[in-house]
Amino acid sequence: MGWVSNFADLAKDGSLTVGIIGLGYVGLPTAIGFHDAGFTVWGVDVSQRTVDMVLQGKNPTGDPDVDDIVPQPGTERWHISTSAAEAVPNCDVVLVTVPTPITHDLKPDLSYVEAAGRDVFKSITKGSRTIVVLESTVYPGVTAQTWLPIIEELGLVIGEDVEIAYCPERFNPGDSAHGVRQVARVIGCSNPEVGEGLVALYSKLTSEDVRYVGKLEVAEAAKVIENVQRDINIALVNELARIFPALDVDVEDVLSAAATKWNFHRYTPGVGVGGHCIPVDPYYMIQRAADVGVPAGLITAARAVNRSMPSHVAGVLSDLMWNAEVPAGDARVLLLGWSYKAEVGDPRETPAEPLAETLMSKGIKVATWDPHIDFGEYPEGVEVISNIEDAKGYDIAVLVTAHKACLNLDWNKLLGQMRTPLVYDGRRVLDLDSLQKSGWQTYAVGKPV
Ligand SMILES: NC(=O)c1ccc[n+]([C@@H]2O[C@H](COP(=O)([O-])OP(=O)(O)OC[C@H]3O[C@@H](n4cnc5c(N)ncnc54)[C@H](O)[C@@H]3O)[C@@H](O)[C@H]2O)c1
């Protein structure tokens, strides 16, 4: 086991054993992808529930694209365990796909990367030169700063016992056109020989470009700035969505007009940015810039705009209900969708949560319906509706997540169940004209009232 000089040739014919540590949104489809590509796979997760479900051939994540593809019990070349110690000695290469959240004070939380790294390095066979690749999103410098001290402490030697590399995951859960087998990959590693070996390996996983980009920090930085750029672009349209209604102009009309120019990039405003990446990764970049004493003012300002959108929208909703003479102290809001992203049952960092909390802090009752979330934690006080037909007596329906199930619900029927016929499109995807014709009073983010 471990690095061999013909690693690239073995990768090309699928004769390597690949370990995946962390079987979540990223790790599970990655494990399945390498298995489908012909490799022997060892998947490890510390969660007994996750391991039990995967062993039963079930999908523990909220990504529907994974529903029907989890290998069934007894599948060859497919091993699942809660123990890195059991898995790692069998592996030539180990990919680490554990969470990289932020702490309450918005600082990077690298504890999972550290703990998973420790579990893996403790289990490495001396002399095996096993390649350990971090795929989690981090800021430049994390892979080396977090893992090299552990490697040293355990008495392992880079180049003899172990190699480390970084290859960020970029796939888009819930988007079958950009799954793990269709996204381009970049690989950072201080050893070009290992980097090129990994190019051969990942080229078996994805049909897109796989490139060795040099040192670890280049690949780490590339990933984080991809999400920083999205955060800044979205922040710009969210800011415009607050300015233009005050000028009695609909931001979407402005964006449609501007988008006729060849180099204008169109983004859509919304109730806020959610998920494990875009609202999190900029803090990693901000922290790293602060460490080296360089201001990251633009990134920080963009984050602040996007972070404030849920409370801005809560204020607008409250005003709309006030204007519609909804009884003070008994206003009721129905949030359509709770997860941060369409077609995925993932509530992490969802803007629905601060939106609901701000509304409740104003004494407004909040209920939500999200057909993609089977189980989840909601803030205390939020009523969870499992059947939209039971949603009765609300004053405003707010489209939070553009799930097809929300867009295509029976709007006439829901209108009949409302106490006040207000609808607010928090994603700019509803046909407001036809809703208006059928009797709804329609409002939307970025649209003048
Ligand atoms: N979800 C996405 O859309 C996406 C896309 C690209 C990159 N990423 C990045 O990929 C990383 C993983 O994200 P995710 O969405 O898959 O997270 P996730 O929470 O869905 O999955 C992580 C899994 O790791 C497991 N885990 C935690 N510590 C472990 C340990 N020590 N050993 C073994 N398993 C452990 C958890 O139990 C969990 O099942 C993050 O850094 C994220 O930023 C995520």
Residue tagged active-site, from 91, 167, 189, 277: 277
What average pLDDT does this structure show over 168-187?
Answer: 90
Residue type, position 327, single letter: P
Helix then strand count (H, E) for the chain reads: 15, 14
> Residues 151, 162: contact at Cβ < 8 Å?
yes
**Residue 44 CA, closest ligand 1 atom number:** 33
Question: pLDDT of 11-39, one tens digit each?
Answer: 999 999 999 999 999 999 999 999 999 99
- Is the shortest distance between the CB of 21 and ligand 1 below 6 Å? yes
Q: 117 CB less than 6 Å from ligand 1? A: no
Q: Are 94 and 130 in contact (CB under 8 A)?
A: yes
Reported as a single tens digit per residue, the pLDDT across 199-236 is 999 999 999 999 999 999 999 999 999 999 999 999 99
100 CB near ligand 1 (under 6 Å): yes
Integer Cα distance of 134 and 129 in angstroms = 16
| Distance of CA 23 from the midpoint of ligand 1 (Å) | 7
Establish whether residue 276 lines the binding site of ligand 1, counting it when its CB lies within 6 angstroms of any ligand atom: yes
pLDDT at 4: 67
Question: Which tokens hold the place of 156?
Answer: 């392992």
Q: Which amino acid is at 422?
A: L
Q: How far is the CA of 266 from the centre of ligand 1 (A)?
A: 30
Do the beta carbons of residue 196 and residue 213 sit within 8 Å? no
Q: Minimal CA–CA distance to 131: which of 83, 164, 89?
A: 164
With a 6 Å cutoff on the Cβ, whether 45 touches ligand 1 is yes
Q: Return the pLDDT at 108.
A: 87
Give tens-digit pLDDT for 289-333: 999 999 999 999 999 999 999 999 999 999 999 999 999 899 999
Q: Please, which pLDDT band fits residue 94 given cuts at 50, 70 and 90? A: very high
User: In angstroms, rounded to a whole number, what is the distance separating the alpha carbons of residues 103 and 101?
Assistant: 7
> Over pLDDT 90: what percentage of the chain?
88
H helical segments located in 324-422: 352-361, 404-407, 411-417
Return phi, psi of residue 160, to 5°. -115, -50
196 CB neighbour count, 10 Å cutoff: 15
Q: What is the mean pLDDT of the chain?
A: 95
Q: Which helix (H) or strand (E) holds 442?
A: strand 441-444
Q: Is 40 in the pocket of ligand 1 (CB under 6 A)?
A: no
Q: Is residue 384 within 8 Å of 378, Cβ to Cβ?
A: yes
For the residues 61-67, what does the mean pLDDT come to?
A: 86
CA of 238 to the centre of ligand 1 (A): 28
- 58-75: average pLDDT: 91
Residue 277 catalytic?
Answer: yes
Separation of CA 424 and ligand 1 centre (Å) = 33
State whether the Cα torsion 253-259-265-266 is positive or negative.
positive
Measured distance CA(56)–CA(88) in Å, rounded = 22
State the Cα–Cα distance between residues 261 and 255, nearest whole angstrom. 10
Task: Check if the beta carbon of residue 371 is closer than 8 Å to that of residue 387.
Answer: no
Structure tokens given for 176: 């079958």
Q: Mean pLDDT throughout 81-89?
A: 98
For ligand 1, the distance from its centroid to the CA atom of residue 351, given in whole angstroms, is 20
Q: Which residues contact 97 (CB under 8 A, 6 or more apart)?
A: 20, 21, 22, 23, 24, 26, 27, 30, 135, 136, 169
Q: Which contiguous run of DSSP H or E holds residue 336?
A: strand 332-336
Residue type, 242: R
Section 363-388 average pLDDT? 92
The structural domains of the chain, ordered by start, are 7-216 (3.40.50.720), 301-444 (3.40.50.720)
Distance 233 CA to ligand 1 centre (A): 25
123 token code pair = 């289990």
Residue in 276, 281, 339, 350 to alter for ligand 1 test, most ligand atoms within 8 A of Cβ? 276
Question: So what's the pLDDT on residue 199?
Answer: 97
Mutate which of 44, 169, 349, 377 for ligand 1? The one with the most ligand atoms within 8 Å of its CB, which is: 169
Beta strands in 209-331 (DSSP E): 210-214
pTM (2 decimals)? 0.87
State which of 21, 23, 25 you would mutate to test the pocket of ligand 1, scoring each by most atoms of that ligand within 8 A of its C-beta.
25
CB 429 within 8 Å of CB 403: no
Residue 296 CB neighbours (<10 A): 18
Is 59's C-beta closer than 6 angstroms to any atom of ligand 1? no
Residue 175: exposed, middle, or buried by beta-carbon count in 10 A (0-12, 13-18, 19+)?
middle
pLDDT band at 64 (very low <50, low <70, confident <90, very high): confident
Nearest CA to ligand 1 atom 27: 98
